[in-house]
């Protein structure tokens, strides 16, 4: 029983270390992609591997201009991301835009949207799946930028 508790504790500590590394990655690399947009203060980051998917739910407020910026470690393949309404209506699909990782948009009504992320798989067959940090950051357009 004691051995199981120690193993569980080591797994928790290991996951916390990986998570904090991804948060550092988001702060150092991901935040740069927001440019002049004001970061919302949340660092959404996790380790994903090829073929793995994740979803993030976020409320966006009417009349606001937003930027979503996704950053990934270099060794990961392309990231396919979509922005969907709760009913499944696709608002943006980066597959139609050369898998770009930044998108600026404005919402007309306050609503919760889903950010769907999928790490694509490499074309080559390999038993070793690549994994690494992926961050999703949100920014609001600054007042200075609006006046330009």
Is a pLDDT exceeding 80 seen at residue 96?
yes
Is a pLDDT exceeding 50 seen at residue 4?
no
Find the range with the poorest average confidence among 11-15, 51-55, 84-88.
Answer: 11-15
- Bigger pLDDT: 11 vs 112: 112
Is a pLDDT exceeding 80 seen at residue 112?
yes
Average pLDDT, the chain: 84
pLDDT given at position 122? 80
Q: Stretch 25-37: mean pLDDT, rounded? A: 90
**How many Å apart are CA 38 and CA 2, to the nearest integer?**
48
pLDDT given at position 148? 54
pLDDT given at position 22? 86
Domains detected in the chain: 2-147 (2.60.120.380)
pLDDT given at position 145? 56
Is a pLDDT exceeding 70 seen at residue 83?
yes
Q: pTM for this one?
A: 0.79
pLDDT given at position 9? 40
Is a pLDDT exceeding 70 seen at residue 2?
no
pLDDT band at 146 (very low <50, low <70, confident <90, very high): low
Following DSSP, what letter does each residue of the chain receive, concatenated? -HHHHHHHHHHHHHHHHHHHHHHHHHHHTGGGGGTTSEE-S--EEEEEETT-EEEEEEEE-TT-EEEEEEEE-TTS--EEEEEEETTS-EEEEGGGGTT-SEEEEE-SS-EEEEEEEEEPPPSS--SS--EEEEEEEEEE--HHHHH-
Per-residue pLDDT tens digits for 39-77: 999 999 989 999 999 999 999 999 999 999 999 999 999
């Amino acid at each position: 029983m004691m051995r199981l508790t120690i193993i569980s504790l080591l797994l928790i500590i290991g996951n916390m270390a990986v998570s904090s590394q991804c948060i550092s990655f988001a702060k150092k690399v991901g935040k740069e992609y927001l440019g002049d947009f004001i970061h919302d203060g949340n660092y959404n980051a996790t380790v994903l591997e090829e073929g793995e998917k994740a979803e993030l739910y976020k409320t966006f407020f009417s009349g606001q201009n937003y930027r979503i910026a996704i950053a990934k470690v270099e060794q990961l393949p392309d990231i396919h991301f979509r922005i969907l309404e709760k009913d499944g209506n696709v608002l943006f699909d980066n597959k139609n835009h050369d898998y770009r990782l930044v998108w600026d948009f404005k919402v007309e009504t306050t609503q919760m949207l889903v950010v769907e992320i999928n790490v694509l798989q490499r074309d080559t067959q390999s038993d070793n799946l690549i994994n690494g940090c992926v961050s999703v950051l949100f920014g609001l357009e600054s007042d200075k930028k609006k006046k330009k």
